[in-house]
Structure 1
């Protein structure tokens, strides 16, 4: 009997393995800030192509993103799992992660999404004023209440992430981590407080065998462009000397193997076991270009050369 999308999702999150008909890509995008037909077309295309998980947040699009995803999920129950994040208000600002506030936002997210349980619930930020044990207790209370199936965090320091992994090790499924992760490493000063999966974070992820949702896995289109692109009027955090060199190497290899530079960059990301690249495709064609990365088998030498040039 075929396994359900959620059974497949749990299996991939647990061991980072692959299934022939599914893949590790996560679909993000401007849900709630685009026409509903565009959202529906993209979600359906992603699901038909073997996608398992759509990613959003309680704060995105001024609070409208979950509603937009939920409108499609109600018409297509069980077609995709959903990951959402709590911890920001609708302006993107951090909020206190006390138990009452978190539960209130999760109940609102459940209503917006029209689901009985959220497949992956992430803290969108940390609340350093609270002990990790308290924040872990809140997450496990959400699981016990049946509101969420898997839990995790985004943008925590490596030290706090490690503490959480230890706290949850004996209490339930392995937590999910969510950080920026791509071949292009951003200037951290330009990420507005969000965190890149640097060496310290990756050491924790690998040491505790945590699934990693790598957001901005395409570095906001860095590998498809020829120059920098401002983001919300701010400098491009990916426009660095190292990243420009990596883009040139992606182009060189793409010409050699008959692919696209951005697809090569995603293939590099997929070579990291347990990483789920989140793609912000705006069209079905962009989804297809991203999925082509599954068909590129990079050697260890190519993986190293793309990053370091040697």
Structure 2
């Protein structure tokens, strides 16, 4: 008997093996800031293509994103798992991660999403004023209350991530890590407080065998372009000399493989076991293009060359 999407999700978060009907892509997008029919069309296409997990946040779209996803989930229960994040207000600013505040926001997220349990709940930010033990206690309490199934963090410094992983590991929980991860390494000064999965973060991920949700896996469309593009009127954090060279190498390899540069770049992320790349597709065509990356098998030499050029 086939396993349900949520059973597959549990297995894939804990194992490197893949089921033929499922894939590791996570679907993000402008939920709550677009017409409801656009959201519904993309979620349906993603689910039909073997997708397991949709990603949003309690703060996205001025607080409207979860409800937009929830409208579809209510009509299609059990079809997709959902990960959401708490810790930002509706302007994107950090808030204190007190136990009461976190529980309040999680209960609001459950109402918005129309689900009994959130599949993956992430702290959207750290609260350095609080100990890792206190923050871990809150996450475990959420699990024990049956409000969430899996927990994790986004945008924590590597040493705090490692400490949380050790603390939760002692309680038989493996946290999910969420960071920017793509072939294009961004200029950290232009990420506005968000963190890239640098070598220190990746060391913690590997040491504790954490699933990694890699947001901006396509570097905001960087590999599909031929020149720089501003993001909300600000410089593109991915438009660096190193990344321009990586984009040229993607173009070269795409020509050899009869593929597209952005597809090659996305296949690079899939080569890393335990990484779940998040795709911010705005159309079903972009979902289809992203899924083509599953059909590209890169060699170790190609993976190294794409990143380092040698």
Shorter-chain TM-score: what band?
A: over 0.9
Q: What does 1:239-278 align with in structure 2 at a 5 Å threshold?
A: 239-278=239-278
Q: Is the CA contact 1:16–1:211 (under 8 Å) kept in the aligned structure 2?
A: no
The corresponding residue for 1:215 is 215
Superposed structure 1 runs of 4+ greater than 6 Å apart: none
Question: What displacement does 1:38 show?
Answer: 0.2
Question: What displacement does 1:15 show?
Answer: 1.4
The corresponding residue for 1:153 is 153
Question: What displacement does 1:233 show?
Answer: 1.6
Q: Is the CA contact 1:16–1:275 (under 8 Å) kept in the aligned structure 2?
A: no
Q: Is the CA contact 1:219–1:238 (under 8 Å) kept in the aligned structure 2?
A: yes
The corresponding residue for 1:9 is 9
Question: What displacement does 1:158 show?
Answer: 0.4
Q: Is the CA contact 1:17–1:274 (under 8 Å) kept in the aligned structure 2?
A: no
Residues 188-227 of structure 1: CA deviation (Å, up to 9, x unaligned): 0000000000000000000100000000000000000011
Residues 125-158 of structure 1: CA deviation (Å, up to 9, x unaligned): 0000000000000000000010000000000000
Deviates more, 1:242-251 or 1:224-233: 224-233
Question: What displacement does 1:231 show?
Answer: 1.2
Q: What does 1:142-291 align with in structure 2 at a 5 Å threshold?
A: 142-291=142-291
Instruction: Provide the C-alpha distance between the structure 1 equivalents of 2:159 and 2:83, rounded to a whole number of angstroms.
Output: 24
Instruction: Provide the C-alpha distance between the structure 2 equivalents of 1:264 and 1:86, rounded to a whole number of angstroms.
Output: 33
The corresponding residue for 2:309 is 309
> For 1:82, what is the secondary structure of its paired residue?
strand
Cα root mean square deviation, aligned: 0.6
Instruction: Provide the C-alpha distance between the structure 2 equivalents of 1:73 and 1:209, rounded to a whole number of angstroms.
Output: 30
The corresponding residue for 1:115 is 115
Question: What displacement does 1:170 show?
Answer: 2.6
Does residue 51 of structure 1 match 2:51? yes
The corresponding residue for 1:76 is 76
> For 1:3, what is the secondary structure of its paired residue?
coil
Question: What displacement does 1:180 show?
Answer: 0.0
The corresponding residue for 1:42 is 42
Number of equivalent positions: 310
Instruction: Provide the C-alpha distance between the structure 1 equivalents of 2:17 and 2:29, rounded to a whole number of angstroms.
Output: 25
TM-score normalised according to structure 2 size: 0.99
TM-score normalised according to structure 1 size: 0.99
> For 2:22, what is the secondary structure of its paired residue?
coil
> For 1:178, what is the secondary structure of its paired residue?
strand
Q: Is the CA contact 1:70–1:114 (under 8 Å) kept in the aligned structure 2?
A: yes
Instruction: Provide the C-alpha distance between the structure 2 equivalents of 1:222 and 1:16, rounded to a whole number of angstroms.
Output: 28
Instruction: Provide the C-alpha distance between the structure 1 equivalents of 2:18 and 2:247, rounded to a whole number of angstroms.
Output: 27
Question: What displacement does 1:62 show?
Answer: 0.1
Instruction: Provide the C-alpha distance between the structure 1 equivalents of 2:241 and 2:99, rounded to a whole number of angstroms.
Output: 44
Residues 224-250 of structure 1: CA deviation (Å, up to 9, x unaligned): 001111112211000000000000000
Instruction: Provide the C-alpha distance between the structure 2 equivalents of 1:89 and 1:255, rounded to a whole number of angstroms.
Output: 44
Unaligned regions of 5+ residues in structure 2, if any? none
> For 1:85, what is the secondary structure of its paired residue?
strand
Instruction: Provide the C-alpha distance between the structure 2 equivalents of 1:108 and 1:243, rounded to a whole number of angstroms.
Output: 40
